[in-house]
């Protein structure tokens, strides 16, 4: 059993490579085969939190991830928050989620906080459930269109379910992101041993 401030368990469960291969095979037009790889950064990379380096990539192009971020997990009041950081010159780090020598080059001066893009996380009995913070203020420009992020994810010991959508600030209509439901990922590699308690 876990609880709503158990950052270590959440970090251990997230510290993995995840694949949605089964979903992509079942539903080729709707879901590409994607890998999400989250690798622990050194303890106190950002003080008072557990940080993970994240790469999201099409399975056929793992060395050209389409999204590179650092996630920082910490306890706030009676829940967990996940902060979202951009990474400067991320191209030089491509592949670092599967290469510890490259991972060592991820330094704190390269990361830049994306404000208003925090997730609020609670223990839900058998999983952690996360939702983007209220306010519709995590802005994403895609194809020259400004959107706000509507996002949630759920983590168990063996799965990651995530659903990111961009919405029009005036109408709340979906502009980008999956239409048929969340991405369903299964753990294919486990890096939890790299997290020090």
Return residues touching ligand CYC (CB under 6 A).
34, 36, 56, 67, 69, 84, 114, 117, 119, 138, 140, 142, 149, 151, 153, 162, 164, 183
C-alpha to C-alpha distance for 78 and 75, rounded to whole angstroms: 7
Nearest approach in angstroms of CB 37 to ligand CYC is 10
Tell me the CB-side half-sphere exposure of residue 40, using CA atoms within 13 A: 22
Handedness of CA 50, 148, 183, 125 (dihedral sign): positive
Nearer to ligand CYC, 101 or 133 (CB): 133
Pull the structure tokens for residue 3.
């609880």
Please name every residue paired with 159 in a beta bridge, in sequence order, or none if there are none.
Answer: 186
Nearer to ligand CYC, 64 or 101 (CB): 64
Nearest approach in angstroms of CB 1 to ligand CYC is 23
Nearest approach in angstroms of CB 120 to ligand CYC is 12
Nearer to ligand CYC, 12 or 69 (CB): 69
Please name every residue paired with 58 in a beta bridge, in sequence order, or none if there are none.
Answer: 34
Which stretch of DSSP H or E encloses residue 117? Answer: none
Is residue 55 within 8 A of residue 65, CB to CB? The reply is yes
Nearer to ligand CYC, 43 or 142 (CB): 142
Is residue 15 within 8 A of residue 38, CB to CB? The reply is yes
Nearer to ligand CYC, 88 or 142 (CB): 142
Nearest approach in angstroms of CB 131 to ligand CYC is 10
Nearest approach in angstroms of CB 41 to ligand CYC is 15
């Amino acid at each position: 059993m876990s609880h709503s401030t158990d950052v270590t368990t959440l970090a251990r469960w997230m510290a993995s490579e995840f694949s949605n291969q089964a979903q992509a095979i079942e539903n080729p037009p709707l879901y590409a085969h994607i890998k999400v790889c989250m690798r622990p950064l050194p303890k106190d990379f950002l003080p008072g939190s557990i940080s993970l380096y994240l790469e999201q990539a099409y399975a056929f192009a793992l060395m050209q991830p389409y999204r590179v971020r650092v996630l920082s997990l910490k306890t706030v009041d009676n829940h967990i928050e996940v902060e979202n950081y951009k990474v400067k010159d991320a191209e030089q780090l491509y592949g670092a989620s599967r290469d510890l020598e490259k991972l060592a080059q991820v330094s704190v001066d390269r990361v830049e906080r994306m404000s208003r893009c925090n997730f609020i996380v609670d223990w839900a009995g058998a999983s952690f459930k996360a939702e983007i913070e209220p306010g519709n203020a995590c802005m994403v420009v895609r194809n020259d269109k400004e959107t706000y992020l509507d996002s949630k994810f759920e983590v168990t010991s063996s799965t990651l379910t995530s659903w990111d959508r961009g919405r029009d600030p005036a109408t709340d209509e979906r502009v980008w992101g999956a239409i048929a439901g969340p991405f369903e990922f299964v753990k294919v590699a486990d890096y939890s041993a790299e997290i020090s308690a």
